[in-house]
Chains A and B, each alone.
Chain A
Amino acid sequence: MPEQRRWYAGMASTEDWWAVWIGLFFVLPGILAAATGVDLTGWIVKFSKWVDITEPIRASHKELLGPGASLVLSYVIFTLATCTGAKFMQWDVKKYFIAWTIIFWLTVVFYIVGQNAYIAATSLEREKYGIDWSLSLGGAYYIIALFAGLFLGNLTPKAFRTFLKEAAKPEWFIKVAIVCLGTKLGLKAIEATGFAMHLLFAGCCATIAAYLLFWPLAYTVCRKIFKLTKEWSACLASAISICGVSASIATGGAIRARPIVPIMISSLVVVFAVSELIILPGLLTKYWSNEPIVAGASLGLTVKTDGADAAAGAILDELIRAKAAGQGIHWDEGWILASAIMTKIWIDMFIGIWAFVLAVVWVWYIDRRPGETVPKSEIWFRFPKFVLGYFIAWFLVMGLGLADILSFESLEFGIKPIEGSLRKFFFMLTFTSIGIVTDFRELAKEGLGRLAAAYGTILVFIIIPIGLFLAWLFHHGMMPPTAP
């Protein structure tokens, strides 16, 4: 019999709600900054590509304060925010603070390493950085954080790695990042005009069709061919169909999966996304350069992390435009990348909707014992609350912009550091933490090989072919504007 709970139960004591509060704690000053012109968010530290070690760090608004001050202030404010949450959630705040401090500064190091121009610069950027070669791995900082975290979580002394887990909270960090992601969607919706609006709309249509087909097919393959349980199948199907790590964690919450399930799947998502980043742009350039927007949109449907999708889109943009330039066609820069991002944005939107659907199905049909009645309120308790923060942030920014209450430029001034610098840093914290809490001994017991085989099979035989078809169906014939 479900226990009696008030609708607001957990608002001050659960990780889910504290992701909403911390997310909005950063979003609201962004909106206030947009309304007043007072720079309340420009202090947030931003990491950029570098060849000179003095270059990678700066404030989001570099005229506001210097790199060192920005980094220290970011540490202080992020620490205050998360320690407040830890206190309310009745964690051991002293242990959390020390472990958080170690994780924060290690993540800063991983981020800086991953932004090195020899690793991250694209071929067109090499001249800007004065280098002859680069790996063009724009999203590599995530995988560096993941692997470094795996090292910390598996190969350091047991007492140390156990201590780090006090503050290694991947689900919490990514939920904060997802609330901030809402502001990015709001800005994109305001910005989209003309061809961009067509791209956004076509991307939305492709995405609706895609995720309704991806999820059931992926789920069926997991259950019928790889014989995975419902818990693993639902989280894996959401991760590979919708938006990777975020969807896996949202689904895990909706179906009450054990924490290890979305964590393990998140590791797979990152590894496969980087593999796609390396392979797909070259293949698409070779075989589909006559449909550049289709090629870009297909990345948005098939690459399951924002970073890898944007990096793959940037590489594809360069490769296809360079090939077209050789044939005398000069497309404007950025539109192929935009098609990748605008499709991915819509996929991100479905986290909340699908989490709701799964919560309903699991509460009423799968977890219910014969004869047991389950109140409708249980759906509310299972619904991932951070998704509310994400929708609030999205509609607030979009509403203020579309109603002409605030101009796009002022919103961008206040919100850009939140949706860019802060969101990416919390993603970095997420990947470091995923590595730390991922215990290979546990993974071996759970059978990582079969999960990886399931993920790879579904990606190659379902997600990529259907993604390519849908991208073509909804974008064929669209061409980027030519360069002025």
Chain B
Amino acid sequence: MKDADATNDTHEVEEPWLPIETKLVVSSVVGGIAILIVLAIFVHMFILR
């Protein structure tokens, strides 16, 4: 549990990049691009005709 008033545990303390962060970032980007393509096709077919 972090101390609400702590100032030493700030963004100035470098934390190692974890494998789960890679998974979170990559899956979100890949999901975003996939959804972008699908929705763009959908919108162009049905709304922006």
Contact = CB atoms under 8 A, between A and B. Distances in A.
Q: Do A and B come from one complex?
A: yes
B28 A212 contact: yes
Interface in B1-49: 1-4, 6-7, 9-15, 17-18, 20-21, 24-26, 28-29, 31-33, 35-36, 39-40, 42-43, 47-48
Interface string A202-217: 1001001111110111
A213 B32 contact: yes
A445 B10 contact: yes
Which residue among B3, B4, B24 has the maximum number of chain A CB atoms within 10 Å of its CB?
B24
Given A198-B47, A230-B15, A446-B11, A366 B35 contact: no
Contacts of B13: 229
Nearest to B48: A477
Nearest to B49: A477
A361 interface: yes
A442 interface: yes
B3 A205 contact: no
A212 B48 contact: no
A231 B11 CA distance: 8
A213 B2 contact: no
B24 A361 contact: yes
A405 B42 CA distance: 32
A476 interface: yes
Interface string A466-477: 000010011111
Contacts of A230: 15, 21
Contacts of B1: 256
Interface string A229-255: 111110000000000000000000000
B31 A212 contact: yes
Contacts of A219: 21, 24-25
A348 to B, nearest CB: 18
A447 B12 contact: yes
Contacts of A470: 36
Contact of B43 (A202, A257, A258): A202
Interface in A237-281: 256-260
A213 B28 CA distance: 7
Interface stretch (A51-59, A220-228, A309-317): A220-228
A217 B1 CA distance: 28
Contacts of A231: 2, 11
Given A215-B28, A216-B24, A224 B35 contact: no
Nearest to B47: A198
A50 B24 CA distance: 49
A117 B20 CA distance: 51
Contacts of B48: 202, 474-478
Contacts of B17: 223-224
A451 interface: yes
B3 A258 contact: yes
A205 B42 contact: yes
A450 interface: yes
Contacts of B28: 212-213, 215-216
Interface string A440-477: 00100111001100000000000000000010011111
A260 B8 CA distance: 13
A201 interface: yes
B35 to A, nearest CB: 5
Contacts of A25: none
> Which 10 A-B residue pairs are closest in the complex by CB-CB distance?
A212-B32, A209-B36, A216-B25, A205-B39, A365-B20, A228-B11, A216-B28, A213-B32, A232-B11, A445-B7
24 contacts: A205-B42, A208-B35, A209-B36, A209-B39, A209-B40, A210-B32, A212-B29, A213-B29, A216-B25, A223-B17, A226-B11, A229-B10, A229-B14, A229-B15, A232-B11, A258-B4, A445-B10, A446-B11, A447-B11, A450-B11, A451-B11, A473-B40, A474-B48, A478-B48
Given A220-B25, A475-B48, 16 more contacts: A201-B43, A210-B32, A212-B31, A219-B21, A219-B24, A219-B25, A229-B9, A229-B10, A256-B2, A257-B2, A258-B3, A366-B18, A447-B12, A450-B11, A474-B43, A478-B48
